[in-house]
Amino acid sequence: AQSVTQLGSHVSVSEGALVLLRCNYSSSVPPYLFWYVQYPNQGLQLLLKYTSAATLVKGINGFEAEFKKSETSFHLTKPSAHMSDAAEYFCAVSGRKTSYDKVIFGPGTSLSVIP
Amino acid sequence: KAGVTQTPRYLIKTRGQQVTLSCSPISGHRSVSWYQQTPGQGLQFLFEYFSETQRNKGNFPGRFSGRQFSNSRSEMNVSTLELGDSALYLCASSLFGVEGAQYFGPGTRLLVL
C-alpha cells in the first residue's frame, strides 16, 4: 500500500532562514505527489504538484520541491522563511489503482517561524 | 471563480443522531471528494464522487455515505453518530479527480457529544 512519512512533526526556523520540510513516500507505481498548506481554521491549499514532468517543481509563495525517485523523496524547500509561512504542511501521494488508498496524506509538519 | 464552499461551518450533535454536510465545488469541477481530519488519525480519504457516481471509497464504515447532484454539489451523511466522529470534514473539488490537484473548502467542524 501507499504511505507517506514526514520527518519532524514540528519544525522551527528563523525568519529569513531556509525552510526544509521532508517527505518520503512508498508506492509501487509511479506516483503523483503534492504539497498542501493549511492555515489555522482553514482548508488545505495546493502549494505544488509533481506529475512526472520536471523533477524540480516550483509552486506558489516561493516554495519548490524536488522529486528524487532513488530516494523516494519529495522534500519541500523555500530559500527564505517569512512569518506568513507559519502553518501546517502536508505531503500527499496518489496514483494507486485501488479505490481505498487513491490518495494518502502524510501526518503533517507544523512550521513555526521565529522573528 | 468562487472557491469551494461548505455548509454549515460548525455543528454540534449528540451520539446516535445523524448529520448531513454540504459542499459546493468550483464551477466546472465534476469531482468532489470528502476527507476526515482528526488530530489522531490525520487526513483520511472518505470517498470521491464524479458526475454523480461514487468513483472511489476510503476505508470507512457504511455509516458514512454521500451523494452528488447533477450540478456537482455534494452532500455527506453520517448516521448513528459516535463520539469518534468528531472531526473537521473537508470537501475538495477537482477537474480530474483525487489523483490530480484538489481545491479544498474551509471545512465543517463537527462535535459529537
pLDDT digits (tens, 9 = 90+) for A24-59: 998 766 678 899 999 988 889 999 998 777 889 999
Cα angle, residue A66 at apex, residues B103 and A22 outer, rounded to 5°: 80
Comparing CB atoms, the residue among A41, A43, A95 nearest residue B99 is: A95
Most B CBs within 10 A among A102, A105, A109, A110, hence the mutation to make, goes to: A102
Hey, which residues 43-62 in chain A have their CB within 8 Å of chain B?
Answer: 43-46, 49, 51
> Which chain A residue's Cα is nearest to B57?
A100
pLDDT digits (tens, 9 = 90+) for A65-95: 999 988 999 999 999 999 999 999 999 988 7
State the Cα–Cα distance between residues B25 and B50, nearest whole angstrom. Answer: 11
Mean pLDDT, residues A91-101 taken together? 70
Alpha-carbon distance A61 to A79, whole Å? 11
Quote the CA–CA distance of A93 and A28 in Å, as a whole number. Answer: 12
pLDDT, tens digit (0-9, with 9 covering 90-100), for B50-92: 999 998 888 899 999 999 999 999 999 999 999 999 999 999 9
* pLDDT at residue A60, rounded to an integer: 94
Residue with cell 498548506: A37
Q: Is B107 on the interface with A (CB under 8 A)?
A: yes
Q: Does B32 touch chain A (CB under 8 A)?
A: no
Q: Which residue of B has its CA nearest to A95?
A: B99
Q: Could you tell me the pLDDT band of residue A97, with boundaries at 50, 70 and 90? A: low
The better pLDDT of the pair A4, B75 is held by: B75
CA distance B17 to chain A (A): 25
Closest partner CB to A94 (pick from B42, B99, B103): B99
Q: Is B39 on the interface with A (CB under 8 A)?
A: no
Pick the more confident residue, A101 or A34.
A34
Find the radius of gyration of the CA atoms of chain B. Answer: 13
Q: Is A66 on the interface with B (CB under 8 A)?
A: no
pLDDT at B99: 77
pLDDT value, residue A31: 76
Q: How far apart are CA B74 and CA B23, in angstroms?
A: 5
**Which pLDDT band holds residue A99 (cuts at 50, 70, 90)?**
low
Over residues B27-49, the mean pLDDT reads 93
Please report the pLDDT score of residue A52 as a whole number: 75
Instruction: Kindly state the helix (H) or strand (E) to which residue B45 belongs, with its residue range.
Output: strand B42-50
Out of A17-26, A101-110, B78-87, which region has the weakest mean confidence (pLDDT)?
Answer: A101-110
B22-59: buried (b, 16+ CB within 10 Å) or exposed (e) per residue?
ebbbbeebbbbbbbbbeeeebbbbbbbbbeeeebbbbe
In this predicted structure, the answer to whether residue A102 has a pLDDT above a threshold of 80 is no
